[in-house]
């Protein structure tokens, strides 16, 4: 086998040798410029520059501005970095998001002009007077009317809108409109500087429930509450101020009750009971938690467990419910009479009297509450039920009840009532 021919120019040398590099033609340097080039404007002149390198004076621009030796050289002002670009929330200002509210679900007595507040009434005044329908309409009108409200006004308006829709029994509307917020934990809702969520806490808690209803997925709501609870725990650990720590601890407790409510709405009361039991403190008793747990035990029929919850607490206003759950209405009447007078105790006493056959006393107590200007949903609904069961003129009496309630509201101030409140 022949060996390959050598590429060297000389064949007389038999030993291995490296090719000399001086015979090669030098490569021309590419014309590149960068921060390492000597003629780069940002480069710093080395003190060891060879003496044969000269710089022509013509290449140096001569400043035309004269500087006074008495005045020091002016340093450039330190400027703050430009603010981050403002976020665009116009997707929450589209009029097609917000449903128009009809007055057909109001009794005719509440649709008269004298029963409606003036259009110029401020939203806080509407809320203080329980004009929730008008407040919801005013909030939507402000959201859709130029100029666009700033974020610190936009989100409270949105919360007012959704909360008022919930209070006037328009939960489907509120659930649908809450979808416009999309993912409330998205990085888009994070502050560029602090990293905190810019949505108000109350709006986030309400949006979790409404979006769960709107998407027909109760588990979505439960998961949303757990996401908020994770954030609340982190804030408790970071908080230095005792007041700030207490605030986040209260929010964490509130979220625990919200999870129980969501599980109950899903029809899983047993899971709600287990959840509340897991929230019990290791030492001492949380009376608020024990009271909620007792109500849930009564709801599922476990009266003995409810009695155990209320045995060592000061929630005496709930103990008559144990007698009512056992069907001992006569004992419950005595227990309600022993409690301090309140609207809640009076209404529950009237219900117990109804079950003991004392219908006249039931009507008397409920009518007294109406004459005092009390017209909450449970009161008017129970009174309308008694009219239906005990009178052949139930419809007429319910219309008279509407007139009485609207008159009292007109005198004392307050919001409207829907037809469902009077079983019309």
User: What are the residues whose beta carbons fall under 8 Å from the beta carbon of 132, sequence distance 6 or more?
Assistant: 126, 164, 167, 168, 415
CA distance 143 to 275: 39
Closest among 354, 424, 343 to 384, alpha carbons compared: 424
pLDDT at residue number 67: 41
pLDDT at residue number 52: 46
DSSP 223-265: HHHHHHHHHHHHHHHH--SHHHHHHHHHHHHHHHHHHHHHHHH
List the chain domain ranges. 333-424
DSSP, collapsed to helix, strand or coil, labels residue 94 as coil
pLDDT at residue number 341: 86
- The torsion defined by the Cα of 13, 18, 22 and 27, in degrees rounded to 10, comes to 140
Residue 172 φ/ψ, nearest 5 degrees = -60, -40
Residue 374: is it exposed, middle or buried by C-beta count within 10 angstroms (0-12/13-18/19+)?
middle
Closest among 286, 303, 283 to 295, alpha carbons compared: 303
pLDDT at residue number 416: 77
Tokens of 376: 């909450």
pLDDT at residue number 111: 83
Contact between 139 and 168 (Cβ < 8 Å):
no
Q: For each of the chain's 424 residues, which pLDDT tens digit applies?
A: 444 444 444 444 444 445 444 444 454 555 544 444 444 444 444 444 444 444 444 444 444 444 444 444 444 454 555 445 578 889 999 999 999 998 888 888 888 887 788 888 999 999 988 889 999 999 999 999 999 999 999 999 999 999 999 999 899 999 999 999 999 999 999 988 888 999 999 999 999 999 999 999 889 999 999 999 999 999 999 988 999 999 999 999 999 999 999 999 999 999 999 999 999 988 888 888 999 999 999 999 999 999 998 887 666 788 999 999 999 999 999 999 999 888 989 999 999 999 999 999 999 999 999 988 888 889 999 999 999 998 888 889 999 999 998 888 766 666 778 888 888 8
CATH topology of domain 333-424: 1.25.40
pLDDT at residue number 166: 95
Answer yes or no: pTM beyond 0.85: no
């Amino acid at each position: 086998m022949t060996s390959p021919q050598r590429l060297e120019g000389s064949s007389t040398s038999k030993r291995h040798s490296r090719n000399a590099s001086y015979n090669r033609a030098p490569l021309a340097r590419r014309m590149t410029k960068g921060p390492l080039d000597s003629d780069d404007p940002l480069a710093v002149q080395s003190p060891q520059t060879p003496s044969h390198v000269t710089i022509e004076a013509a290449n140096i621009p001569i400043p035309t501005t004269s500087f006074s030796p008495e005045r020091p050289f002016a340093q450039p002002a330190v400027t703050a970095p430009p603010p981050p670009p403002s976020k665009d929330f116009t997707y929450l200002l589209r009029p097609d998001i917000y449903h128009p509210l009809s007055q057909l679900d109001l009794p005719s007595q509440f649709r008269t002009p004298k029963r409606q507040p003036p259009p110029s009434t401020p939203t806080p005044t509407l809320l203080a007077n329980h004009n929730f329908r008008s407040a919801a309409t005013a909030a939507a009108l402000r959201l859709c009317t130029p100029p666009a409200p700033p974020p610190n006004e936009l989100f409270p308006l949105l919360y007012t809108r959704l909360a008022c829709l919930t209070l006037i029994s328009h939960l489907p509307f509120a659930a649908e409109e809450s979808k416009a917020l999309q993912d409330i934990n998205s990085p888009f809702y994070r502050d560029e500087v602090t990293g905190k969520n810019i949505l108000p806490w109350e709006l986030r808690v309400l949006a979790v429930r409404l979006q769960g209803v709107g998407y027909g997925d109760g588990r979505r709501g439960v998961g949303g509450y757990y996401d908020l609870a994770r954030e609340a725990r982190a804030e408790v650990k970071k908080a230095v101020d005792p007041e700030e720590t207490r605030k986040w601890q209260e929010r964490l407790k509130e979220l625990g009750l919200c999870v129980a409510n969501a599980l109950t709405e899903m029809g899983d009361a047993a899971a709600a009971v287990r959840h509340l039991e897991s929230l019990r403190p290791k030492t001492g008793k949380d009376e608020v938690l024990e009271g909620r747990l007792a109500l849930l035990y009564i709801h599922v029929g476990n009266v003995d467990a409810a009695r155990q919850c209320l045995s060592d607490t000061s929630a005496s206003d709930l103990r008559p419910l144990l007698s009512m759950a056992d069907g001992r209405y006569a004992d419950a009447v005595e227990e309600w009479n022993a409690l301090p007078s309140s609207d809640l105790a009076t209404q529950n006493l009237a219900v117990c009297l109804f079950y003991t056959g004392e219908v006249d006393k039931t009507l008397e107590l409920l009518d007294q509450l109406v004459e005092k200007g009390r017209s909450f949903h449970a009161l008017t609904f129970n009174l309308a039920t008694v009219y239906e069961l005990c009178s052949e003129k139930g419809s007429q009496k319910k219309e008279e009840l509407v007139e009485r309630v609207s008159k009292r509201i007109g005198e004392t101030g307050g919001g409207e009532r829907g037809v469902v409140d009077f079983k019309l």
